[in-house]
Structure 1
Amino acid sequence: MQIERLVQMIFYIISRKKVTAKELAEYFGVSTRTIYRDITTLTLSGIPIVSKKGSGGGISLLDGYTLNRSFLTNEEQLQVYQGLQILQASNYPEADQALNKIGSLFNQLPAEDWLEIDFSYWGSSDDEKITISELRRAITQKKLLRFDYFNSELQRSNREVEPLRLIFKSHAWYIVGYCRHNQDIRVFRLSRMKRINVLDETFDRALAEDFSLGDSTYSTEYVTFKLRFSPEMAYRLFDEFQEDQVKRCSSDCYLVTVQYPMNEWTYHRLLSFGPYVEILEPVEARSELKKRALKIAQQYNQEEDI
């Protein structure tokens, strides 16, 4: 829609100070004639856009011009303000200064702290905490990360990784980066990264534009699990599964259909539900969990015989 393009055009010009009509046309996918018509529309609406032809010319906003706060609705102002509060909670650099400026502009009073972002696990010490600010610095300034990493079998290894992207997916944070040990792009779950250090050493690498977490070497083959849960586990189901994965049965039990890999992580996760879960499918997973449960029972039986 034209109105959306006009709004985006203003912020595009503000962020780049000076642009050309050709650049705007390519960015918005329209003709230069359309761009000139949009500029005329903005000028007539009171936005002081200056257009100069010739060498060194271009399209810019009049020096000293700032957008009036009425340009944004109250809801949009609140969204901007709350976005800055999220950055402030994650210790993002200079977020406090930006928050105060926006608060003054929007007549928003700084609210009490309502959000805290902490990547460390429960009970961890302060020296194990890592913030978004530190990870942002490592990624944007291309600083090498060094950390201890625990895989799904709890095997520890020391890694040096060139961090390229921070991703939040399926209730967890991940770092995507080039692992110098494996000499390949790998995905590391943040909760398994311990003693993280941002080094002074820099690197020169970028993540492919078509990178997808689903295509990474972290991915594995998933199969469909059908699980039956006792009502005692109802409090955990909607914390750990999607609503459309859970179905309540007439017998007061719950059926869950979910995609899991056939690996150690899956069996450890299911064992955490104790006797309150039963694997219906696949058959091989049902047999494997039964074997592990019997092994646990045998261990305790041996202790009673001692």
Structure 2
Amino acid sequence: MQIERLVQMVFYIAGREHVTAKELANRFQVSTRTIYRDLNTLSLAGIPVMSAKGTGGGIFLLDGYTIEKPLLSREEQQNILQGLQILQASNYPNAEITLNKIGAVFRHVLKPEWLEVDFSFWGSDEKEKVTISELQYAILNKHLIAFDYFNSELQKSCRTIEPLRLVFKSHAWYIIGYCRYKQDIRTFRMSRMKHIHVMPETFQRELPKDYSLLPEYKEEDQIPVFKLKFSRAIAYRLFDEFQENQVSLCEDGDYLVTIRYQLSNWTFNYLLSFGKYVEILEPEAARIMLKERALEIAGLYP
């Protein structure tokens, strides 16, 4: 990637009194011809790359030059930083090293202007729309946010939280923050948050380093084990919804999923989303409860 090589080349030259084109070519695994083209690009960008022939000569930066001077335009810097942040999040090799190097050059704060994420539903009023930039601002600058929250039973509550992290997990966005109402760190699903407002009040709290988004089941043995048989027709959803070690192939080509679930409204509403393509094999109590719900639904269509 030429941009990365150019930035690293400036650092490399700045850290030495003189270097040769051959040395740079070996360092960056390109030809000396490419190095000379890169040096010309740096010069055109305003980087004072100098060269001298003879003994003690070589390539060097003009005395007094500091790498805080702009190498790229603000827009180009922004695109590079954000692209590398995406690579870092996906564990791309050496992305963090490159990000740190470029971060040392680009001193000013950059705002993400290339990406828009709208958390409101289609047809929502404009006042309900919150962009990822607003949420990022609240998290990075430690501003409280207030909103109406609807739980899985559609019960409404007014919340004010100290937003600590924005997370995308399992097809949905979540905000992790300290809830002033519950006086504890909680996770809020974005689709259930309405009328989100970034407040002027600030806070100082940080997310604990040992915090995990995964719930801790202290009494896991009391949670029933479900054995679910899924039709092969719905196979495309299984590895999006379940872990690999929870899914096994049956002799008839269908799939068996073994997982712990509470006997709750959420569980049965979730399983009903698979329609006729899932059957509860165990526990028996869950089979009966799902059948009753299915009959209630059928009763709506006499």
Structure-2-length-normalised TM-score = 0.58
Matched, 1:119 2:119: yes
Q: Going by fraction, where is helix more abundant, 1 or 2?
A: 1
Tell me the SS of whatever aligns to 2:209: coil
Per the alignment, residue 98 of structure 1 pairs with none
Identity score, percent: 54
Paired residues for 1:162-181 under 5 Å: 162-181=162-181
Q: Aligned AA for 2:136?
A: R
Q: Aligned AA for 1:190?
A: M
TM-superposed CA distance for 1:125, in Å, is: 4.3
The Cα offsets for residues 218-252 of structure 1, whole Å up to 9 and x where unpaired, read as x9956543211224433433443445544343323
Per the alignment, residue 269 of structure 1 pairs with 270
Quick check: 1:159–1:181 contact (8 Å CA) kept in 2? Answer: yes
TM-superposed CA distance for 1:129, in Å, is: 2.4
Alpha-carbon separation, structure 1, partners of 2:17 and 2:246 = 54
Per the alignment, residue 140 of structure 2 pairs with 140
**Judging changes above 3 Å, is the alpha-carbon distance between structure 1 residues 79 and 277 closer, same or farther for their aligned structure 2 residues?**
farther
Alignment gaps of 5+ in structure 1: 1-9, 15-41, 47-61, 68-77, 87-100, 103-112
The Cα offsets for residues 98-118 of structure 1, whole Å up to 9 and x where unpaired, read as xxx99xxxxxxxxxx8x7533
Quick check: 1:225–1:258 contact (8 Å CA) kept in 2? Answer: yes
TM-superposed CA distance for 1:259, in Å, is: 4.3
Q: Aligned AA for 1:270?
A: L
Matched, 1:160 2:160: yes
The Cα offsets for residues 143-186 of structure 1, whole Å up to 9 and x where unpaired, read as 11111111011111111112122223333222121212222222
Tell me the SS of whatever aligns to 2:134: helix
Matched, 1:240 2:241: yes
Tell me the SS of whatever aligns to 1:146: strand
Alpha-carbon separation, structure 2, partners of 1:184 and 1:123 = 33
Alpha-carbon separation, structure 2, partners of 1:220 and 1:196 = 35
Alpha-carbon separation, structure 2, partners of 1:45 and 1:135 = 47
Alpha-carbon separation, structure 1, partners of 2:296 and 2:239 = 30
Alpha-carbon separation, structure 2, partners of 1:230 and 1:184 = 41
Alpha carbon RMSD of aligned pairs, Å?
4.3
Per the alignment, residue 228 of structure 1 pairs with 229
TM-superposed CA distance for 1:283, in Å, is: 3.1
Alpha-carbon separation, structure 2, partners of 1:224 and 1:267 = 14
**Judging changes above 3 Å, is the alpha-carbon distance between structure 1 residues 119 and 216 closer, same or farther for their aligned structure 2 residues?**
farther
Quick check: 1:220–1:261 contact (8 Å CA) kept in 2? Answer: no
**Judging changes above 3 Å, is the alpha-carbon distance between structure 1 residues 281 and 216 closer, same or farther for their aligned structure 2 residues?**
closer
Per the alignment, residue 297 of structure 2 pairs with 296
TM-superposed CA distance for 1:189, in Å, is: 1.1
**Judging changes above 3 Å, is the alpha-carbon distance between structure 1 residues 252 and 280 closer, same or farther for their aligned structure 2 residues?**
same
Structure-1-length-normalised TM-score = 0.57
Alpha-carbon separation, structure 2, partners of 1:152 and 1:162 = 22
Q: Aligned AA for 1:254?
A: Y
Q: Aligned AA for 2:269?
A: H
Alpha-carbon separation, structure 2, partners of 1:178 and 1:190 = 15
Q: Aligned AA for 1:278?
A: E
Alpha-carbon separation, structure 2, partners of 1:125 and 1:240 = 31
Paired residues for 1:48-197 under 5 Å: 64-66=65-67, 82-83=83-84, 117-197=117-197
Q: Which moved more, 1:164-173 or 1:179-188?
A: 164-173
Alignment gaps of 5+ in structure 2: 1-6, 20-62, 69-78, 88-101, 104-113
